[in-house]
Amino acid sequence: MRSLSIHKLLLISLPAIALVALPLSPNWAEAAEGKGKVKVLYHVDGKDPEVAKYALALINKHIEAEGGPENIDIELVVHGPALELFDKDKMDPEMAKRCTQSR
């Protein structure tokens, strides 16, 4: 009797599991029909302002790619050292502009 390696077993079983699980997903039918909003979470926790600016630029591009803010729900989670970057009294002018664009 030949034994299957774990890799071969996963290669065989994962697609089968996915085929069974996808139709059971509650929003799968809506997503397939183009209904419902795309939901996305962005996360910034570092003190580098360039990373925060990049995250805001990605958010704006994502909104554009989905066809506007009415088609997407975006949450930006900011904590730790990044909180200072988003303090409205201390915010970099370029970041403030990108925050305004994202709304």
What local confidence, expressed as pLDDT, does residue 76 receive? 94
Same domain, 30 and 13: yes
What local confidence, expressed as pLDDT, does residue 72 receive? 93
Same domain, 30 and 41: no
Domain range holding 15? 1-34
Q: What is the pLDDT along the chain (103 residues), one digit of tens a residue?
A: 455 566 565 566 666 566 555 555 555 555 556 568 999 999 999 999 999 999 999 999 999 999 999 999 999 999 999 999 999 888 888 888 877 766 6
What local confidence, expressed as pLDDT, does residue 36 receive? 83
Residue 56 burial (CB count, 10 A): 23
3-state DSSP assignment of residue 79: coil
Domain count, the chain: 2
Query: How far is CA 81 from each of CA 17, 22, 52, rounded to the nearest angstrom?
Result: 41, 39, 11
